[in-house]
């Protein structure tokens, strides 16, 4: 029995495809009660993948009791196989959390609910994978129009029979709408797609070749920064050249504890005319600039901190955005300059040696000497304020008095102090986020402009500033 050729542009369609499988055999049930009578998966509003299985009362499980508070790596795995199509399914990190008995017409069965981290499917075949569709969420882009067309053709075959004569007619309807942005990086073309069809929202990235998970993650995270809102990854599927689905994987989504509530705040303009139509050339140039510097300046770590800061309460967000800036600052100075007060190794080594000799001559115990020596080893580091000023000088961009003042106040919550003016502090968080945006754009040579999210703009947009100009209190 061969699988029918069907294209899936939504992870919900993949879930429906899995739930409609016939001829499923359980190769390994692991922690789930087995024999399994039925199996079904759904995705809840928190983007978790929920597995529902039913079994008879006499079914058994290999699950072991996990002590409360224990930290461990979940290696539980369920393996299924479709006996008709040679397709296998691997459900990973299975965690049973609910079990109840259902009674219907004197028939007793156990209904068990489990969370899973992923479900991966492969088809045993020698056919080469050609295309990849990556399922994403939180790419609403309600304030933007995607500049490239998506064309959907629908053909209807009509046959009229009169006696023994058949008249065939084919009608084709074409629907075109803005719905994607076409990009290219390292000879790989891909299309960022978001549109509505038959009352369903489709959000995905279509690649014209197979690239690694790591490379796709880089691209997603750079796109997220450009859009000013994190894209949430839900999985992928691959197709052959003749559009036969060969493999898929659905992943549990992670929303940074509130990503879906964030507004879209792009760091810079996406159209020189300041319209809401995204210019695909500008977008692609931004993407290439960020992608090129992604590994050099550890954007994976920086963006991870950045989105957690964006979803945090303002009281802690200032500390987190400050951490983003400090991390980028240290990386840049390490690669392009220094964070030392005395940069000459010869002068510093002489200074250090002389002071170590003085400490050794003091009439104090050894533990006290060690404390003083540790102080000496750490005194050749510029204070954080001076480090930031040095970074901005090297990049030849302005650090204003308002920005400097906000930087000094960023760690007030980290020391347990009370914030006296909530409104001022919330606006300070906007300055810190904008400072980080400016630094990323400048270091990546991505744009000449940035959006100022501190200053009050007009009713439709925020203020746009040149990258070298800082934020002033007016």
Helix then strand then coil, % of the chain, to nearest 5: 30, 35, 35
| Dihedral angle of Cα 282, 284, 287, 291, to the nearest 10 degrees | -140
Q: Per-residue DSSP letters for 180-215?
A: EEEEEETTEEEEEEEEEETTEEEEEEEESS---HHH
Q: Dmax of the chain from CA atoms?
A: 118
Q: What is the pLDDT of residues 170-206, one digit of tens each?
A: 555 555 555 889 999 999 999 999 988 888 889 999 9
Instruction: Please report how the helices 299-311 and 314-336 are oriented relative to each other, as an axis angle in degrees rounded to 10.
Output: 160
The pTM score is 0.89
Phi and psi at residue 41, in whole multiples of 5°? -125, 150
Distances (CA, A) of 349 to 32, 239, 376, 377: 64, 62, 11, 10
Tell me: cis bond preceding 407? Omega within 30 of 0 counts.
no
Any bridge partners for residue 68, and if so which? none
What is the C-alpha separation between 206 and 9, in angstroms, rounded? 9
Rg (CA), the chain: 29
For CA atoms 442, 447, 449, 452, give the dihedral sign: negative
Backbone angles phi, psi at 3, to 5 degrees: -75, 140
Give residue 338's region: left, alpha or beta (phi > 0; psi -120 to 50). Answer: beta
CA 151 from centre of chain = 28
Distance (Å) of CA 316 to CA 127, 275, 308, 326, 404: 51, 34, 10, 15, 19
The CA-atom distances, in angstroms, between 433 and each of 143, 215, 305, 410 are 20, 26, 11, 11
How many CB atoms lie under 10 A from the CB of residue 48? 14
**pLDDT at position 1, please?**
42
| CA-based end-to-end distance of the chain | 72
Q: Which residues of the chain have pLDDT under 70?
A: 1-5, 151-178, 457-461, 474
């Amino acid at each position: 029995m061969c699988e029918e050729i069907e294209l899936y542009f939504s992870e919900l369609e993949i879930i429906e495809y899995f739930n409609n499988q016939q001829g499923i055999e359980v190769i390994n049930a692991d922690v789930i009660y087995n024999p399994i009578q039925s199996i079904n998966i759904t995705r809840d509003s928190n983007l978790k993948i929920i597995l529902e299985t039913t079994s008879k009362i006499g079914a058994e499980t290999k699950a072991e009791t996990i002590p409360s508070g224990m930290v461990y790596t979940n290696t539980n795995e369920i393996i299924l196989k479709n006996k008709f199509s040679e397709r296998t399914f691997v459900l990973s990190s299975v965690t049973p959390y609910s079990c109840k008995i259902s009674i219907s017409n004197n028939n007793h069965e156990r209904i068990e609910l489990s969370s899973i981290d992923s479900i991966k499917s492969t088809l045993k075949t020698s056919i080469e994978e050609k295309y990849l569709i990556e399922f994403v969420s939180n790419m609403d882009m309600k304030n933007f129009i995607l500049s490239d067309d998506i064309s959907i053709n629908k053909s209807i075959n009509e046959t009229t029979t009169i006696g023994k004569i058949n008249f065939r007619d084919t009608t084709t309807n074409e629907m075109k709408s803005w719905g994607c942005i076409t990009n290219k990086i390292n000879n790989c073309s891909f299309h960022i797609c978001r549109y509505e069809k038959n009352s369903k929202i489709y959000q995905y990235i279509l690649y014209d070749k197979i690239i690694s998970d790591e490379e796709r993650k880089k691209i997603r995270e750079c796109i997220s920064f450009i859009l000013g809102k994190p894209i949430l990854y839900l999985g992928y599927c691959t197709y052959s050249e003749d559009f036969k689905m060969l493999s898929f994987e659905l992943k549990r989504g992670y929303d940074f504890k509130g990503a879906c509530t964030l507004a879209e705040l792009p760091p810079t303009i996406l159209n020189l005319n300041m319209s809401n139509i995204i210019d695909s050339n500008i977008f692609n140039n931004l993407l290439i600039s960020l992608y090129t510097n992604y590994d050099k300046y550890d954007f994976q770590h920086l963006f991870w901190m950045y989105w957690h800061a964006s979803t945090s309460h303002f009281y802690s967000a200032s500390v987190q955005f400050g951490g983003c800036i400090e991390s980028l600052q240290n990386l840049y100075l390490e690669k392009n300059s220094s964070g030392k007060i005395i940069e000459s190794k010869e002068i510093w080594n002489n200074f250090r040696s002389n002071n170590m000799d003085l400490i050794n001559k003091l009439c104090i115990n050894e533990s006290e000497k060690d404390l003083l020596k540790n102080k000496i080893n750490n005194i050749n580091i510029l204070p954080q304020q001076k480090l930031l000023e040095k970074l901005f000088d090297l990049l030849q961009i302005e650090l204003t008095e308002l920005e400097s003042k906000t930087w000094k106040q960023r760690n007030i919550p980290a020391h347990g102090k009370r914030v006296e003016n909530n409104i001022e502090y919330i606006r300070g968080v906007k300055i810190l986020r904008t400072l980080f945006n400016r630094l990323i754009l400048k270091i990546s040579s991505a744009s000449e402009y940035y959006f100022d999210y501190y200053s009050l703009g007009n009713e439709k947009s925020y203020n746009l500033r040149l990258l070298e100009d800082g934020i002033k209190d007016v």
